Amino acid sequence: MIARLRAPGLHRGILAIPLGIGFSYAIVLPIRAASHYHPVLDGTAILQVAMIVAPFAFLIGLGAFDYWFYWATGRPTRPEDHSGHGARSWKDYFRVNTDHKVIGVQYVVHSFLYFLIGGLFAMLMRVQLAQPGGKFVDANTYNGLFSVHATVLIFLFVIPVFAGLANFVLPLMIGAPDMAFPRLNALSFWLLPIAGLMLLGSFFAPGGSFASGWTAYAPLSTSAPIGQVFFTLGVQFAGASSIATALNFLVTIITMRAPGMSFFRMPLLVWANFSTSLLVVIATPFIAASQFFVLLDRALGFNFFNAGSGGDVLMYQHVFWFYSHPAVYIMMLPGFGIISEVIAVKARKPIFGYRMMAFSLLAIVVLGFTVWAHHMFTSGMPGWIRDPMMITTAIIAVPTGVKIFSWVATLWRGVLHMDTPMLWAMGFITMFTLGGISGVMLAMVPFDLHVSKTYFIVAHIHYVLFGGSVFTIFAGVYYWFPKMTGRMFDERLGRWHFWTTLIFFNVTFAPMHLIGIQGMPRRVADYSSQFATWNLIISIASWGLGLSTMIFVYNMVVSWRGGPRAVANPWRGLTLEWQVSSPPPIFNFDSLPTIVGGPYEYGVPGAIHAVFRDGAQVPQPAPSRAMVTQE
Amino acid sequence: MADTHGSQSTPHRPPPSRRTIVRLLAIGMLAAAIGIVFGLLIPWFPPAAAKQAHTIDTLYYVLIVVTVPIFVLVTTVVLFSGWRWRMRPGEERLDGPPIHGNTQLEVIWTALPAALIAALVVYAAIVLGDIGAKQPNELKVGVTGQQFEWTFSYPAYHDGAGQPIVAYQLYLPINRPVVFEIHSVDVIHTFWVPAFRIQQDAVPGLTTSFRATPDRLGSYQIVCNQLCGYGHSTMRTTLHIITASAFNAWLAEHGYSGGAQTTSLQRKPASGGGATEVADAGGWRGYAPLSGAQTNTKEGTQ
């Protein structure tokens, strides 16, 4: 027992938490006593310190820092025996593991847990809104529900699930044995449960959970009850995880590509994650800063956002959106990558305009940093900023349009395998186009002056993030499910999942455009009775949407446990992840591949993407008719 | 479409006939037309009660006409592809033609949307300039947001005690341009009049403003559109647009006896800023800190 508590792992990690809390008391009490603060024992002060210290204690206990501590203190680092690498039993998923495939699965499963929780919150909100004058929850709880809903789904679902999928497939795709920094990779994942539990834990805080929206605008957030700090700090941990992963992706992509894999031979998923990682590394520190400002305002009275003491209220919004607009692309570009993979393979055609697809990603990265103040058209910032921001915001539709049209052109004359991943991809193209169009409308300042912060925005964001990001996530999860689990999913259930989701998604979110323009504000626990009919329809459809997700959960769980065994390359893909077994060997490749051609040469007679040095496997596409006749 | 290799040995499907493409185009255009008509027939907007509102509504309908065809076009081609190009039995091993791109097409679908967007942006910028343009004989109205109610003041009209007239519902004379000067005493609120199609945040420490010219009699909603705490969804009041004579009568009822003066717009204490100070100003309903969960805990950790 003692040995188990001394060894790195969950036991030691959990044991370390009370030690961290004790340490927080030991810091806070003497300082308060010395400063003559009254009372000396103050729960809020200790809680805020403990929320910073305890997570680090947990991580140290877990063993996330063991190797670095040994190294830093000059003690012999244990020779790498790879005992912390790869999963031999399910228990290996619950400890610090350095295998990118294990971490990828950890990320994806953990993220979907929060997808279900965040979705459940939405369904509870829709109960409250089913009728005007809803009494299901009180206004404060309602404000908490939508705040936690958005925060959890952004920071613990969409962003990390993309990081998880890429974690699994990206090193495989570029022919690397792992990520560049496996230990950092493990640490990145383990920061997430901390962030997640902190956000959810806020419901138990005195005064309720944080309730100032996921945007946490000051001075509402600086004057809110202590639950707000759970957001302020939770986001720091999620953000740190994001930054570390992005650095890891950048270094991996730049330095660990297999011989012959030039940038323009990389699959577009790799391009997408390269672009996303640039955004994350540059932008995420800004949200960290905005939340540190809030923390300092709250805990130590810095008055950054206190207008009466020289603070600047709009400053918060500028710093916040300087991250949070690029974050929209952080939540979309990896999905673009997934769609490119799925569509090329499932349409049996090369991606139309590969280079333009890559360049448009980079264009979005650059433009993405120039549009943040379009969230602030009504904020009271100097009026002249509106015009340039309107121009840049509208221009960003051009590279996005290039991508949409190129996917559509890839479908043209293909041989479309209309199975589950492809249905999601095609559903994505149409739904995301709608979200993009309402985005262009919102860019037009005079229209935005009317609908900003209304249900029109709620509709737009969900067409972009649900019809956009979530559809791509489903496409990706179905597409790589055989590779990740070694099992096939149930195709029939997959189709049911797609069609029910598509229908309920549209019934839920399309009417929101209308009620928004008609004058219904978002983030309200009650509304004027003129919107009653639509709200009832929306509420019913939202529960349908929730239930359709249960089909997915059932399919995933049952297929993972007992689905038919997957072959190495069930979709006849050319990219490298399909050239190894399903699931892949612990170190990915028995011999490193050499890349000799593009990743999407479907239909090109005799095209080869890669050859393996030992010559034992030649990762040709499973013989297409074109190839057979060529030989 | 440049095939990179000779295709003598690749039994790709034949390209669609000219007739198919013409048909697809016809279906697409018909669908776009139906989409546009549908988009224009939906009763999108609440009643418009300001000159600016009509301009903004027109902008929206133009946006519908321009953007709906794009959505319809993409959807039509996706649906067509799903039907026409789906894999049929016996084609399990077939690949599509290796088309890697088409520069001409790519230039078109980059340049065309860019031109369209440029036109829309110019149009929107002109509209933005128009709705914000200064008008003669503007009525200044002070708007102050606080958790969770609105207060309106008329700095040009003073009551017997020499104080600007203050009201908790907004009364405006028809056809006289109004400039709102908006403040907040606590957190950010948004002063939104859906019937004007305009909203503007009330920001602590700033004076923000917008212009509107009421042009329709009646009563309309005023909505706080920025999450401002527990009572946000109840932060509503009413706008009454009345005739000029009714407005004068209303002013008289509130103690106005003629002779417009120009004094400070907002009745604020000299030092400005903090919420608690505003409570001292004469005639103001005092700003009471919220109870319970909403209490500011700034001192909590000291």
Written in H, E and C, the secondary structure of A34-50 is HCCCCCCCCHHHHHHHH
B 240-269: CB under 8 A from A: none
B200 to A451, B174, B194, B265: CA distances (angstroms): 11, 21, 11, 18
pLDDT at B277: 32
B94 touches chain A (CB under 8 A): yes
Exposure string of B49-63, with b = 16+ CB inside 10 Å and e = fewer, is bbbbbebbbebbebb
At A615, the pLDDT band (50, 70, 90 cuts) reads low
Q: Which residues of B touch A413 (CB under 8 A)?
A: 12-13, 15-16, 85, 96-97, 99
**Residue pLDDT, tens place only, A119-142:** 999 999 999 999 999 999 999 999
Closest-approach residue (CA) in chain B for A214? B227
> How many Å lie between the alpha carbon of B106 and the closest alpha carbon of chain A?
7
Closest-approach residue (CA) in chain B for A305? B204
Q: Is B198 in Cβ contact with A356 (below 8 Å)?
A: no
**Residue pLDDT, tens place only, A426-461:** 999 999 999 999 999 999 999 999 999 999 999 999
**Residue pLDDT, tens place only, A4-19:** 778 888 889 999 999 9
Q: Which of B128, B234, B299 has the highest number of chain A CBs within 10 A, making it the mutation to test binding with A?
A: B128
Identify which of A380, A406, A454 has the shortest CB distance to residue B201: A380
A604 to A535, A618, B14, B49, B134: CA distances (angstroms): 52, 17, 16, 63, 64
B291 touches chain A (CB under 8 A): no
Average pLDDT over residues A544-571: 96
Helix/strand/coil percent split, chain B, to 5: 35, 25, 40
> How many Å lie between the alpha carbon of B17 and the closest alpha carbon of chain A?
12
Q: Measured between alpha carbons, how far is A291 from A272 in angstroms, rounded to an integer?
A: 28
Identify which of B93, B200, B225 has the shortest CB distance to residue A625: B93
Identify which of B81, B106, B121 has the shortest CB distance to residue A353: B106
> How many Å lie between the alpha carbon of B110 and the closest alpha carbon of chain A?
6
B231 touches chain A (CB under 8 A): yes
Q: Is A401 in Cβ contact with B233 (below 8 Å)?
A: no
Token output for A256: 């660990």
Backbone angles phi and psi of A242, in degrees to 5: -60, -50
The pairing of beta strand B178-184 with beta strand B139-146: parallel
Average pLDDT over residues A332-356: 96
Identify the H or E element spanning B164: strand B164-167
Strand partners, B212: B178
B115 touches chain A (CB under 8 A): no
**Residue pLDDT, tens place only, A454-486:** 999 999 999 999 999 999 999 999 999 999 999
Average pLDDT over residues A595-607: 91
Exposure string of A122-134, with b = 16+ CB inside 10 Å and e = fewer, is bbbbbebbbbeeb
pLDDT at B302: 32
Token output for A612: 């393996």
Q: Measured between alpha carbons, how far is A150 from B180 in angstroms, rounded to an integer?
A: 33
- Whether A82 has a pLDDT exceeding 70, the answer reads no
**Helix, strand or coil for residue B193?**
strand
Q: Is A350 in Cβ contact with B98 (below 8 Å)?
A: yes
Token output for A54: 């305890």
B 46-85: CB under 8 A from A: 46, 55-56, 59-60, 63, 67-68, 70-71, 74-75, 77-78, 81-82, 85
Reported ipTM: 0.91
Query: CA torsion, points A181, A187, A192, A195, in degrees to nearest 10?
Result: -130
What rounded mean pLDDT belongs to chain A?
92
Q: Measured between alpha carbons, how far is A237 from A291 in angstroms, rounded to an integer?
A: 11
B22 touches chain A (CB under 8 A): no
A3 to A7, A16, A62, A425: CA distances (angstroms): 6, 15, 14, 50
Q: Which residues of A touch B226 (CB under 8 A)?
A: 217, 453
> How many Å lie between the alpha carbon of A265 and the closest alpha carbon of chain B?
13
**Residue pLDDT, tens place only, B96-143:** 999 999 999 999 999 999 999 999 999 999 999 999 999 999 999 999
Helix/strand/coil percent split, chain A, to 5: 70, 0, 30
Q: Which residues of A touch B117 (CB under 8 A)?
A: 394-395, 397-398, 440
Q: Which residues of A touch B206 (CB under 8 A)?
A: 307, 313-314, 380
A382 Cα distance to chain centroid:
33
Q: Is B301 in Cβ contact with A44 (below 8 Å)?
A: yes
> How many Å lie between the alpha carbon of A2 and the closest alpha carbon of chain B?
38
Q: How many Cβ contacts (< 8 angstroms) between chains A and B?
A: 329
> How many Å lie between the alpha carbon of A321 and the closest alpha carbon of chain B?
16
